[in-house]
Structure 1
Amino acid sequence: MSQQTTSKNICVITNVDSLLGYALAYRFLEAIRNNEDPSADSKRKIRILCRDTQGLELKRLEEMGADLMKVNYKEEEKLREAMKNVRAVILIPENSSGRLKEAENLIKAAKHQDVEHLALMSFVGVDRIHKSGEDANSSEFRNFKEYHQIEKKVKETFGGNKHCIVRHQVFNQLYYFMAPRLEGQNQLLLPVKKDVKWGSVNMIDVVEAVYRLARKSHEQARNNTPDADPFYHKNVYELTMERTMNAENMAREIGQGLDREDMQYEEISGSDFRKYLESMKEDKRFRERPDAHGDPREGRDGWWSIPLGKFLNDQNIETMIEFWRLACKGQQDVHSDDLHKLLDRQPQNLKQYFKTNREQFRRFK
């Protein structure tokens, strides 16, 4: 994060309409409410950007102290207003057909208003498409290509130590949509070959890592010790588990976590997987957040980290499918110790995640 002192006291989190954006906003607001950093500026604010301010979910964040702003990411002038007095931005690209242009507009608006630091949330593997043997003109990885283009735009606009890119694997929370099959039929169905290696990660761990990264970097800047630990000023972080597994081993660990030793894995086509998630979008079990009082310290999901069906739009579904498509080409066998270092502990593994959240998954049976 930025290494110069400043009177600006606002941090912006975009796309809080998404699962990740909402969870990040909750974590940063919780930190302020609990006074987790007593030495921090007491006037600091969290501004959250969304397409629609309606709904109980966003009102909860507003009640926690968020400055809630409705924006149209196509209108750069309005985005400049949202960037006034902003010190840092966490950009979560929209799951929309205009994702690339909307992200570019926000990046330009942030630069125009002299935002000091911009962090981009991206996916592991977006920089490895060229290794997959894909034709340059193919649309096979259209969404991943857009993420990679946004990464390049961030680097060009916020050079040096004024930016960082945080890549992550698919989230374990995605499995909630598969709970009816996991709990009802003892089956894990995914569009990926059973013998290729890839990884999924607990979103709570990713959110906590991003919060700690922001806090530590700002602390070094405030104390004028930017070189105390260069790790906190890298430009790219890969937030992954420290080992990858094939789908059959994942099914085994999920089964053990759910106390179902006979869990089986079956590869399905991308089109069948898409149809399944589209059916979950309208499923009544995923219309409202459950009244779940989780404990992030134990990796237990709460109402802020359990997904809703409305998140499953076309772009989001296709992006997930591209993650596994890239895995099938051998390009998701990626692991790093960045997450471990940021958390100062081992990330929660798949078996632990399902064991901790076993009762949550049974809600969706």
Structure 2
Amino acid sequence: MSQQTTSRNVCVITNVDSLLGYALAYRFLEAIRNNEDPTADSKRKIRILCRDTQGLELKRLEEMGAELMKVNYKEEEKLREAMKNVLAVVLIPENSSNRLKEAENLLKAAKHQDVKHVGLISFVGVDRIHKSGEEANSNEFRNLKEYHQIEKMVKESFSGNKHCIVRHQVFNQLYYFMAPRLEGQNQLPLPVKKDAKWGSVNMIDVVEAIHNLARKSHEQARNNTPDADAFYNKNIYELTMDRTMTAENMAHEIGQGLDREEMRFEEISGSDFRKYLESMKDDKRFKERPDAHGDPSEGRDGWWSIPIGKFLNDQNIETMIEFWRLACHNQQDVHSDDLRKLLERQPQNLKQYFKTNREQFRRFK
């Protein structure tokens, strides 16, 4: 390994304004603070990119040791500055109308600064849109198609073993926004057919899996043993549960977890789902992160993994709807063993997740 590579000690996490970006940054910073990998470079840094540095949430990460950097993805020089001394980038595409161009600009800056590895976070199913029968120019899956296009950009810019793509299913944490209906009306309202199959995962498990993947891959690179375990050098990981379920089955498991046996699924339109989430965006219950001290080892959400209303912008809501729309085309019945292997344990199932976080959901009733 060259001296240039070993002198790079910065890992960049983009889009820390998002729920996943924030949770990932928290986990990586926590690992450094707790010295979880004593053989790692003690001078390593986590640089987090965001659109706005204001607010208590990002200050918390800065207090944990993060190097906070506000970026405008149109400013080429600023992006190149963000990529200085960077060994690896975790690219979480922005929830914006300019997502494609912003990802392209960041990848160009990373390439210019000779970043060694890019990990992209994407969605399960983006490679299956063509099987849905929709025309290539249709806007039905505009957001998911953009994720797939970004995947292609990453593969082209950082070919071979210089990239990996991590796809995940919809997060269980999304259901906090539905807590008023879950707890108040015993209903799970979703824009999906009752017999469509899809999967839902605990974001804490996904975050832990990504952290383990980064740690193992870095360890192999540091020891110059890239072939020690080929599993940690794949280009694509599908972080899913070991089985998919129908919405009716999910409602039943959620009801059991919340101790509400009469929980029922209600199929609603995409427009009604959009209106509901837009109302939750401004709901006072979701204005600020709750003072929740969770235990990730038990799958219990803390303040870093509970969503708030500001995450519900138009692109984020539309992406969720597209995920279920693809399920209606029978293209989300996807399952893999990657999540279990990265965790080295079974991921938390839906019933366990809701049972563990029962009191958290009740506070949003």
- Per-residue deviation, residues 68-104 of structure 1 (Å, max 9, x unmatched): 0000012222100000000000000000000000000
1:189 lines up with 2:189 in the alignment:
yes
Aligned match of 2:80: 80
Report the Cα distance in structure 2 between the residues aligned to 1:223 and 1:297, rounded to whole angstroms.
28
What's the counterpart of residue 91 of structure 1? Answer: 91
Contact kept? 1:132, 1:331, Cα under 8 Å: yes
Q: Counterpart in 2 of 1:163?
A: 163
| Map of 2:30 onto structure 1 | 30
Aligned positions of 1:64-213 closer than 5 A: 64-213=64-213
Q: Does the 8 Å contact 1:126/1:144 carry over to 2?
A: yes
Match of 2:273 in 1: 273
Q: What does residue range 334-349 of structure 1 map to in structure 2 within 5 Å? A: 334-349=334-349
Indicate yes or no: 2:308 matched with 1:328: no
Encode CA deviations 1:132-177: one digit per residue, 9 max, x unaligned.
Answer: 0001111000000100000000000000000000000000000000
1:55 is aligned to: 55
**Equivalent in the alignment of 2:248:** 248
Separation in structure 2 between the aligned mates of residue 74 and residue 187 of structure 1, nearest angstrom: 43
5+ residue gaps, structure 1, are none
Q: Which runs of 5+ in 2 are unaligned?
A: none
Matched, 1:312 2:318: no
Q: Deviations over 1:96-134 (max 9, x none)?
A: 000000000001100100000000000000000000000
Question: CA RMSD for the aligned pairs?
Answer: 0.9
> Tell me, what secondary structure is at the counterpart of 1:340?
helix
- Whole-Å separation in 2 of the counterparts to 1:189 and 1:349: 20
Q: Tell me if the contact between 1:5 and 1:221 (Cα under 8 Å) persists in the aligned partners.
A: no
SS at match of 2:152: helix
Q: CA-to-partner distance for each residue in 1:34-68, whole Å, 9 max, x for gaps?
A: 00001100000000000000000000000000000
Matches within 5 A, 1:218-233: 218-233=218-233
Q: Which runs of 4+ in 1 moved over 3 A?
A: none
AA matched with 2:227: D
* 1:37 partner SS: coil
How far apart are the structure 1 equivalents of 2:262 and 2:53? 44
Normalised by the size of structure 2, how large is the TM-score?
0.99
Provide the C-alpha distance between the structure 2 equivalents of 1:74 and 1:304, rounded to a whole number of angstroms. 29
Is the 8 Å Cα contact of residues 5 and 222 (structure 1) preserved in structure 2?
A: no
Structure 1 residue 263 and structure 2 residue 268: aligned? no
Paired with 1:138 and 1:220, the residues of 2 have a C-alpha distance of 43
2:294 aligned residue: 294
Q: Tell whether the 8 Å contact from 1:48 to 1:69 is kept in structure 2 after alignment.
A: yes
**Structure 2 Cα separation of the partners of residues 240 and 76 of structure 1:** 36
Contact 1:107-1:154 at 8 Å conserved across structures: yes
In the alignment, the residues of structure 1 paired with residue 224 and residue 106 of structure 2 have an alpha-carbon distance, to the nearest angstrom, of 29
Q: Partner of 2:12: helix, strand, or coil?
A: strand
- Cα distance, 1:7 vs. partner? 1.1
Map of 1:43 onto structure 2? 43
Deviation at 1:5, TM superposition (A): 5.1
* Cα distance in 1, alignment partners of residues 204 and 137 from structure 2: 36
- Alpha-carbon separation, structure 1, partners of 2:136 and 2:360: 43
CA distance in 2, matches of 1:108, 1:233: 23
Q: How far has the Cα of 1:224 moved from its partner?
A: 1.0
Q: TM-score, normalised by structure 1?
A: 0.99
Aligned equivalents of 2:14, 2:74: Cα separation in 1: 14
- Number of matched pairs: 363
User: Is contact 2:5–2:87 with CA below 8 Å preserved after alignment?
Assistant: no
Task: Give secondary structure in 1 for the equivalent of 2:176.
Answer: helix
Letter in 1 for 2:55: G
